[in-house]
Amino acid sequence: MRTKDHYSLADIINSRSSEKKYIDKIDIWVFTVVRPLSNLLTWLFLKLRLSANQATFISTIVGFLGAIIVIFAETPMSTVIGLIILNFWIVFDCIDGNIARTTHTSSKLGMYLDGISGYCYVSLLYTALGVNVYKNYKLIIFNNNYSWLYILIGALASMACVFPRLVEHKAGTSFLNFNSGLTDKMNYNWFYILGLNLAGMAGLSNPLMIIFFMLHRLNIYLILYFIIQLAIEILSIFKTIRRVYKISYEVD
């Protein structure tokens, strides 16, 4: 329940704990662009009396719309528009949490819906890019056109974003004392901070997709991030399984 009718920008900014502010600072794109924009839009959403869950629904629609535009884009301009909308997904994704903290309306349902929104986004992101690249770039190998591989690469990159989360979730439900160090951003070392900035859903991968497109190298972006996401997937699953085995031996 909201404690008052009007909220200032300062209320929104101060609603974040010192830990969350630190996590913002180690993510360059979030700290310099995403968080300031999301704070301004949160102020507008609060003026419109939108709830955190309504903001989550809007962010999901934004991500879905961006992906659809990228998939069916027929001109460079329409692709740019789709990529910009995809970039705004993470901005809108921050709004629901801002509203929940500012208005003291945080709930498990809200966290669940926010997680589903994130899964929808990463499931569509690289798949959409793969389809777009397939339509606009040739992949010639030994005089044969293998452009269809771009769609496969995009789908596998999206799967690489989602599958480790499913493995980790299963570990959490199977072993109550399971704790993932990968989600503890407060204790990230330089290697994990670098990964957060380059490959995180809110990181530099978002503006880079626009930059690569403007350089006519969106296919290179797709391949590069397929490799990055695949490496992260393998590392994440390895660490999760190693922790599970350790817990299992301790129980036995």
What residues does 145 pair with on adjacent strands?
140
C-alpha to C-alpha distance for 57 and 61, rounded to whole angstroms: 6
Residues 6 or more apart in contact with residue 14 via CB below 8 angstroms: none
- Predicted confidence at residue 173, as pLDDT, reads 84
The answer to whether 100 touches 106, Cβ cutoff 8 Å, is: yes
**Does residue 1 lie within any of the structural domains?**
no
For residue 43, give the CATH number of its domain.
1.20.120.1760
> Which carries the bigger pLDDT value, residue 192 or residue 5?
192
**Does residue 194 lie within any of the structural domains?**
yes
Residues of the chain with pLDDT > 70: what percent? 95
**Does residue 178 lie within any of the structural domains?**
yes
- Predicted confidence at residue 1, as pLDDT, reads 42
Segments forming the whole domain that contains residue 91: 9-251
**Does residue 127 lie within any of the structural domains?**
yes
**Does residue 3 lie within any of the structural domains?**
no
- Predicted confidence at residue 76, as pLDDT, reads 95
Instruction: Give long-range contacts, CB 8 A cutoff, 24+ apart: 107-115.
Output: 109/53, 110/52, 110/53, 110/56, 113/53, 113/56, 113/57, 114/56
Smallest CA-to-CA distance from 43 within 19, 63, 15 is with 15
Q: Is the pLDDT of residue 2 over 60?
A: no
Weakest-pLDDT range from 41-45, 204-208, 242-246: 242-246
Question: Average per-residue pLDDT in the chain?
Answer: 89
Q: How many domains does the chain have?
A: 1
69's tokens:
């535009």
Tell me the per-residue pLDDT of 62-110, one tens digit each, with 9 for 90 and over: 999 999 999 999 999 999 999 999 999 999 999 999 999 999 888 899 8
**Does residue 32 lie within any of the structural domains?**
yes
The model carries a pTM of 0.89
Q: Which stretch of DSSP H or E encloses residue 183?
A: none
Smallest CA-to-CA distance from 17 within 182, 180, 181, 186 is with 186
Q: Is the pLDDT of residue 180 over 70?
A: no
Torsion of CA 111, 115, 121, 127, to 10 degrees: 180
